[in-house]
A and B are shown apart, each in its own frame.
Chain A
Amino acid sequence: MSNHESGLEELADRYPDVPRFIILKLDAQRRGIKLTENAFNAVQEPLYRYGRYSGVKGEETSKGVYPGPLILRDGTTVLTSAAAASQFENPYTIDHVEGKFYIHDNGRRIDEVDFTPRPDYYGKKTSRGVPMESIASARPQRIDIQPYRYCHFWDTQDQCKFCSFFTDLEEQRQLSDEKFPRALNVEDIYETVREALKEPGRISQINLTAGADYSGAVPFDNEVNRYIEVLQAIGRNFSGRFPSQLLAPAYTKKQVKRLYDETGLSSYCPDIEVWDENLFKWICSGKDKVVGRNEWVKRTIDAVEIFGKGNVYTNFVAGVETAQPHGFKTIDEALKSSFEGCEFFAKHGVVYLSLVWRPWKSSVFAGQKQPPLEYYVRLVKGLREIRRAYGLTSDNDDYKHCGNHGDSDLERID
């Protein structure tokens, strides 16, 4: 890889068909953001005051709390948190001047931005006295629920090597204690969703994800039962199938069918994380041991028979395929592999989406080098073109629902 790294402006000139907003989003995810004191004070206002319970170190300081996801002027959601600023070497800065937020790059003002407003259900408690924001966190148009906040792949050090879920982002261990209980109560989940729905136009999707629990007669049986129970509780708020996504391991066809038949779930996303077979075995050893890479792929495409074309997704952590010592040595090789994965899944009706890799301190890949911004620009452009050729859109992971995927943001004009 060359030493010169092109920045936002240079790449916006070189790739005129990729909007500057999307390049900015990719770079803000790569490099992170931090808040000036003015901006930090401004996000304590009732409109923005978030306060979450994810266990991330520094998320709630004595001076206040960090805001929800960043939103660019074009409506693009950027899933990056200022609470994690210490993880990044050269983050963008968000300032607040005369009632508006602005994003700066090394002192240069780039654009006006905003933060996701605090939803009305934050600050309320369930009938059991549990703060609702500890049950569901809000993005601009969706809520995210993690019914089981522990991943058992970590028990045998088989966690995915980029993973920082359910850690404090600093230490390589799962949190899970009395302050951060593993399992959520389903009635708390039901009541939180019911309360969230009272706010007009606040949510148009519900997402579920959790750590992997492969216990049960058939691996993951217990986890599937848990999800069914949770989805049925959420479903009591709706008259039929509802816009929702489950990010979970690749289950057997029988398990997937149960999820579809017994709940109102509308889409399913078993994440492949990295396409290359050998890299998957190295990076996702837990998934490989319990399911196996080829079986993971097979189960993913089998799920299309149940959920239908375009309703099965699989995310990959873009950039981990360049992690050393086993990863690709050049961007071209890395892109070729990801495009091959996208094409394969697209042919089978599966949406293969990218997420920007951040080598968190609590992950095995801490200290690894991220690919340059240009890799991400070329990647999102290529992925969008492949999926478009197969008539696929990322309805559950578009610009306003997720905030992770530059490639699905590009679909807004397709």
Chain B
Amino acid sequence: MSILPEELVNLLKDHDSVKILSTTDENGVPHAVAKGSLTTLDGITIAFNEGLDTNISNKNLVRSIWFDKSVAINVTKGGVSYQIKGKPYKCLITGPVYKEFLLKARERRGPDADIAAVWIVKPDEVRNETPAIRRKEEEEKRPFFNRHLDRASIKKTVHT
């Protein structure tokens, strides 16, 4: 398993980036939710908490760890965006990491805040989805595919 790129680690640890977790149910129906707690603790895996055991995401995560299904995570801030595909590796229901997430939740939302579990996801694939980078990659690979010819970089400007 590889170490996450530094830019992604910074995004994951940034409170202001938007973090989306996407899971699927038994019929493959996707379910995407914002996950404010999502971060990396070791630069290798992704960690986040689930508030309730009965959340759809939580049930989908259980199904994923039981039946070897993947989840997708998107982390975005400004023009930078990463997508991570991976599998849930651990569901923590007690212990120091669990306590750390609970205390953070209580810092943010007050002493009555609660969590059900902390999930650890092991990434299988990390993709830089930053639009400018993706476009550059594609244009290098297939320079004549599906580009509008009136774009500034293509059309010759005729001065009359």
Chain B residues within 8 Å of A202, by CB: 94
Within 8 A of A (CB), among B41-60: 53, 59
A357-372: which have CB < 8 Å to B? none
Say whether A97 faces chain B, with CB atoms less than 8 Å apart. Answer: no
Chain B min CB distance to A147 (Å): 25
**Count of A-B contacts judged by CB separation below 8 Å:** 59
Contact check: which of A73, A116, A141, A201 meets B91 at CB < 8 Å? A73
Q: In the complex, what residues of B have CB within 8 A of residue A21's CB?
A: 65-66
With contacts A19-B67, A412-B53 known, is A74 near B94, CB below 8 A? no
B105 vs chain A, min Cβ distance (A): 9
Chain B residue with the shortest CB-CB distance to A77:
B93
Q: Cβ of A211 < 8 Å from any Cβ of B? A: no
> Chain A's interface: helix, strand, loop or mixed, by majority?
loop
Q: Are A413 and B62 in contact (CB under 8 A)?
A: yes
- Count residues on chain A whose CB falls below 8 Å from chain B CBs: 24
Chain B residues, Cβ within 8 Å of A19: 66-67
List A residues 192-222 near B (Cβ within 8 Å): 199-202
Instruction: Decide if A246 is an interface residue (CB 8 Å cutoff).
Output: no
Chain A residues closer than 8 Å to B98, beta-carbon distance: 201
Whether the pair B93, A400 counts as a contact (CB closer than 8 A) is: yes
Contact between A74 and B91, CB atoms less than 8 A apart: yes
Whether A141 and B94, one on each chain, are in contact in the complex, defined by CB atoms closer than 8 angstroms, is: yes
B35 close to chain A: CB less than 8 A = no
Shortest CB distance B142–A (Å): 41
Residues of A within 8 A of B92 (CB): 75
Complex Cα gap A117–B92 (Å): 11
Question: Given that A201-B102, A412-B59, A413-B59 are contacting pairs, would A73 and B65 also be in contact in the complex, using a CB cutoff of 8 Å?
Answer: yes
* Cα–Cα, bound, A83→B96 (Å): 25
B82 on the A face (CB < 8 A):
no
The size of the chain B interface, using a CB distance under 8 A, is 24
B94 in contact with A116 (CB, 8 Å)? yes
Distance in angstroms between the alpha carbons of A47 and B95 in the assembled complex: 8
Given A75-B117, A200-B103; A114-B95 close (CB under 8 Å): yes
Is A353 located at the chain interface by the 8 A CB criterion? no
Do residues A73 and B89 form an inter-chain contact, with CB atoms below 8 A?
yes
B47 to chain A, nearest CB (A): 14
Pairwise interchain contact A200-B99, C-beta atoms closer than 8 A: yes
A197 vs B79: C-alpha distance when bound (angstroms): 45
B100 to chain A, nearest CB (A): 10
Q: Mark B92-121, 1 if CB is under 8 A from A, else 0.
A: 111110110011001000000011010000
Q: Which of B115-134 contact A (CB under 8 A)?
A: 115, 117
Q: How far is it, in angstroms, between the C-alpha of A114 and the C-alpha of B44 when the chains are bound?
A: 20
Known: A73-B89, A75-B117, A200-B106. A117 touches B95 (CB 8 A): yes
> Does B90 sit at the interface, judged by CB under 8 A?
yes
Give the distance in Å from the alpha carbon of A116 to the alpha carbon of B65 in the complex: 20
Complex contact A75–B91 (CB within 8 A) = yes
Tell me whether A412 and B65 are in contact (CB under 8 A).
Answer: no
Complexed CA–CA distance, A114 and B92 (Å): 10
A140 CB within 8 Å of chain B: yes
Residue of A nearest to B89 (CB): A73
Q: Does A71 sit within 8 A of B, measured CB to CB?
A: yes
**CA–CA, A400 and B95, complex, Å:** 13
B77 within 8 A of A: no
Q: Which residues of B contact A413 (CB under 8 A)?
A: 26, 59, 62-63, 66
Min CB distance B108 to A, Å, is: 14
CB neighbours (8 Å) of A398 from chain B are 53
Question: Chain A CB within 10 Å — which of B59, B67, B95, B117 has the most?
Answer: B95
Residues of A within 8 A of B99 (CB): 199-201
Q: List 27 A-B contacts (CB under 8 A).
A: A19-B67, A21-B65, A21-B66, A47-B95, A47-B96, A71-B93, A74-B62, A74-B66, A114-B95, A116-B94, A117-B95, A117-B96, A140-B94, A199-B99, A200-B103, A200-B106, A201-B94, A201-B99, A201-B102, A201-B114, A202-B94, A398-B53, A400-B53, A412-B53, A412-B59, A413-B26, A413-B59
18 new A-B contacts at CB < 8 Å, known A200-B102, A413-B62: A21-B66, A47-B95, A73-B65, A73-B89, A73-B90, A74-B65, A74-B90, A75-B90, A77-B93, A116-B94, A117-B95, A200-B106, A201-B94, A201-B102, A201-B114, A201-B115, A400-B93, A400-B94
